[in-house]
Structure formats: structure tokens, C-alpha cells
């Protein structure tokens, strides 16, 4: 059998508003495609966790070396804003679950509504994050305009960390907490944006009727990604805002 007369496996659409799914030629069964996608994506999530693992390791190491800096630094963050953002993400994880469920049961309209709500959650999260960054900017704890101005060897000054209220004056290396805070939350924020973009992408596919009870793998995987983004924040929130 040459590849010309190789017949692709088709998963029929459950209704007129959906389209058939063609299983890629190198899989023999739809189950094989589904399991391969799932396993691959879980492995990818493992690499994401390990990537953040390096940041967490740095956090714990310097928390151990400069405990006062981290405790005092954590007090400068607004835990109410952090808690609000935590609830927003938790809620968006619920809408994501409902979105995946709706896709699995071929309910196109509900899928679109729930996925749209999840994207809205991502937008609210980023807005609150922006307000928090602005507050840090005003107090000279992270001055974004001077972020890349370099390090002044002679004065020992970091242009982005002026701390003009002097809140961190009594602890060693006050910038360290804010540098780690910025790095961790910014990388997490990039993941939020990527996650939102992926959700918008599967919303287009949903609108075209590509996802239904017979084939919903991409919705499922994007859902997993969104839960990971949520999970990482669940760890970041207490570590940064409620420094033990």
C-alpha cells in the first residue's frame, strides 16, 4: 500500500454546525492521537514547572540568606490586590473547566461563552498586575523607566531601585526582593498572556465547529496549560505577598 491509497481515519461531526476531524496519517486510531497529544503536553508542562523551579530555588536560597529583606519586601506588596488576583485566576480556572466540558459535550455556544469568560479573567488579572507595578514604580521600588540603565559601579546605585521613601533602608540588598518579585511575576505574566492567546485561538476553532464530542484535544490541552498558569500563581502569591 503506497501513501496515495492510504485511507485516513475520519471522526464524523456530531451535527451540521461541526466539521469532521481527520486523524493525521501517522496515527492508526483516534485514541492513539489523543493519548500522544496528552502525554506530550504533560511532558511539556513538566518542563514549565522545572523552568519556574529554578526561580523558586533562587527565591528560597536568598530568603534564607537575607530573611529580613524578604519579610520587609513582602510587606511593601499589597496583599489585598494579590488576593483579588488569586480569586480572579481561581474563578477563571473554573470557567476553563466548564469550557472544556462544554466542548466535550458538543455545546458550541456554551464553550465560546466559558472560554470568553476565561480570557476576560486573564485581562482583569493583567490589569490588576499593571496597577500593582505602577504602585511599585511610584515608590521607587521598581522604576521601569530606569530598568535598563545599568549599575553604577562608583556609587553602588541601581537606577531602578531608588527607594525614595527609604522603606528598605535598614535591610541589606533591598533590591534583591523586588528583582525576584519582578522576574517571577513578569515571567508568570508572559505565561498568562500566552495562555489567553491560546484560548482565543481555540475559540476560533470552536466557532468553526472543529471541536466536538469526537475531537476536543486542543481545548483540553489549552485547559491544562491554563490550570498550570493558575497553579504557579497559587505558589507565587503566598511566597511573595505573605512572606513567612
Which residues here bind another protein, judged by CB under 8 A?
1-3, 6, 24-28, 32, 35-37, 39-40, 43-44, 46-48, 50-55, 57-58, 61-62, 65-66, 147-148, 150-151, 153, 156, 158, 160, 172-173, 175-176, 179-180, 183
Q: CB of residue 226 vs another protein: minimum separation in angstroms?
A: 20
Q: CB of residue 10 vs another protein: minimum separation in angstroms?
A: 17
217: closest CA among 13, 15, 33, 8?
Answer: 33
Q: CB of residue 46 vs another protein: minimum separation in angstroms?
A: 6
Nearer to another protein, 16 or 156 (CB): 156
Nearer to another protein, 179 or 229 (CB): 179
Secondary structure element (H or E) that encloses residue 22, with its range = strand 21-22
**CA–CA gap between residue 142 and residue 147 (Å, rounded):** 8
Buried-exposed string 8-19: b where 16+ CB fall within 10 A, e elsewhere: eeeeebeeeebe
Nearer to another protein, 13 or 176 (CB): 176
Do the Cβ atoms of 177 and 73 come closer than 8 Å?
A: yes
**CA–CA gap between residue 175 and residue 113 (Å, rounded):** 43
> C-alpha cell of 81?
490586590
Q: CB of residue 212 vs another protein: minimum separation in angstroms?
A: 22
Amino acid at each position: 500500500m503506497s501513501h496515495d491509497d492510504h485511507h485516513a481515519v475520519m471522526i464524523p461531526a456530531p451535527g451540521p454546525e461541526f466539521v469532521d476531524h481527520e486523524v493525521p496519517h501517522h496515527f492508526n486510531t483516534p485514541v492513539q492521537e489523543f493519548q500522544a497529544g496528552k502525554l506530550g503536553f504533560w511532558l511539556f508542562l513538566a518542563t514549565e514547572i522545572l523552568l519556574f523551579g529554578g526561580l523558586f530555588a533562587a527565591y528560597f536560597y536568598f530568603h534564607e540568606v537575607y530573611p529580613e529583606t524578604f519579610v520587609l519586601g513582602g510587606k511593601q506588596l499589597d496583599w489585598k490586590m494579590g488576593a483579588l488576583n488569586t480569586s480572579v485566576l481561581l474563578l477563571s480556572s473554573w470557567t476553563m473547566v466548564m469550557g472544556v466540558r462544554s466542548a466535550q459535550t458538543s455545546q458550541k455556544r456554551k464553550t465560546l461563552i466559558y472560554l470568553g469568560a476565561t480570557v476576560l479573567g486573564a485581562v482583569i488579572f493583567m490589569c490588576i498586575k499593571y496597577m500593582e507595578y505602577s504602585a511599585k514604580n511610584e515608590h521607587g521600588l521598581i522604576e521601569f523607566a530606569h530598568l535598563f540603565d545599568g549599575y553604577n559601579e562608583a556609587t553602588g546605585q541601581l537606577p531602578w531601585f531608588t527607594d525614595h521613601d527609604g522603606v528598605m533602608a535598614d535591610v541589606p540588598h533591598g533590591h534583591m526582593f523586588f528583582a525576584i518579585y519582578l522576574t517571577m511575576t513578569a515571567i508568570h505574566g508572559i505565561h498568562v498572556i500566552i495562555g489567553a492567546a491560546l484560548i482565543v485561538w481555540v475559540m476560533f476553532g470552536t466557532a468553526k465547529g472543529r471541536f466536538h464530542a469526537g475531537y476536543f484535544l486542543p481545548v483540553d490541552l489549552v485547559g491544562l496549560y491554563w490550570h498550570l498558569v493558575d497553579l504557579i500563581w497559587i505558589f507565587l502569591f503566598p511566597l511573595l505577598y505573605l512572606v513567612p
